[in-house]
Copies of this chain bind each other. A is one copy, B any other.
């Protein structure tokens, strides 16, 4: 299925990443400037910080920190769904330019301890969001519960009834099911109306369960699943479906937190994001769908203007491979041994990608 007549270079608008963890402190300072390096100029920053971004003011303050670190980037700010998000606070957030509210079911991933147990409790918030044209970003997994037969392998599929119910109750509310990993999720989103979109990460287009079993740097939530699930993700991006778009869920953790007794969940793709996606799209024979996936589809869904010539472009080169670094230093940290700074390991560390971004 390799693509024939692959061009040696492709010029595209800068990409948009509609799901990214930019963290805080030393890690934020390390990874935020890498967004542009990965080919992205619009990035949706996740609010699961410590403490989570629960108020308009917190999100605005966080946005200012990010902007100082990467002045060329357009940051889309989000709030963490919580009881303080009254109709009034939603109005305030919308007026302040905050685009989305993120929902984590309780206990499903990094910093989700404050997550939601019962979505019905937030219906007035969703009502207000719908009125103010805000977007609801869903981490679509049910909490694991062995008594109910729920585990990390079927947690996403089990969540889909909640997605259907939310869409039915708030048909005008734009909802993004994030980081879909299953055929069931892809089929569900396809079956729903135009107000339901879906992000797909770069790494879930590459890996299956076999790749994270015994490889903590590939371990993330939701976990990568069966080959048939990965096939479904690949098929939907190959088809160019307009409601499916890139949300990297790039989630850096220091190496010391990834290698140990309890590896943290998250795959780090920010600095190599678009070369990674281009490499896969060539392999899938769908390079002509790349622009839609990394820019147009998501921007349309988020009702952002499409990039114009004045916004500049990136040129992807096939003649120059990209050697992914084995790790990046996180300045100002300590890995616990002899005052050596900790590092963060990117996806496909040490390997070569078929495409790189032309630099001047």
> Which residues of A are interface residues toward B (Cβ below 8 A)?
144, 146-147, 149-154, 208-210, 212-217, 219, 223, 225-228, 230, 259-265, 337
Contacts and interface: CB of A to CB of B under 8 A. Distances in A.
A219 to B, nearest CB: 6
B152 A210 contact: yes
4 tightest Cβ-Cβ pairs between the two chains A and B: A146-B227, A144-B210, A149-B227, A214-B263
Contacts of A259: 259-261
A76 B173 CA distance: 66
29 contacts: A144-B210, A146-B208, A146-B230, A147-B227, A149-B227, A150-B227, A151-B208, A151-B209, A151-B210, A151-B226, A151-B227, A152-B209, A152-B210, A152-B213, A153-B153, A153-B226, A154-B226, A212-B213, A213-B219, A214-B264, A214-B265, A215-B261, A215-B263, A216-B216, A216-B263, A217-B261, A259-B259, A259-B260, A337-B337
A149 B265 CA distance: 25
Contacts of A146: 208, 210, 227, 230
Contacts of A215: 261-263
A77 to B, nearest CB: 29
Given A144-B210, A210-B144, A219-B213, A228 B149 contact: yes
Contacts of A260: 259
Contacts of A152: 209-210, 213
A154 B225 CA distance: 11
Nearest to A228: B149
Contacts of A153: 153, 209, 225-226
Contacts of A217: 261
Contacts of A216: 214, 216, 261, 263
Given A153-B153, A216-B263, A259-B261, 20 more contacts: A149-B226, A149-B227, A150-B227, A151-B209, A151-B210, A152-B209, A152-B210, A152-B213, A153-B209, A153-B225, A154-B226, A212-B213, A213-B219, A213-B265, A214-B219, A214-B262, A214-B263, A216-B261, A259-B260, A337-B337
A208 B147 CA distance: 12
A260 B209 CA distance: 18
Contacts of A265: 213-214
Contacts of A149: 226-228
A80 to B, nearest CB: 22
Name the residue among A149, A150, A260, A261 with the largest chain B CB count within 10 angstroms: A261
A334 to B, nearest CB: 16
Contacts of A261: 215-217, 259
A348 to B, nearest CB: 13
Nearest to A208: B151
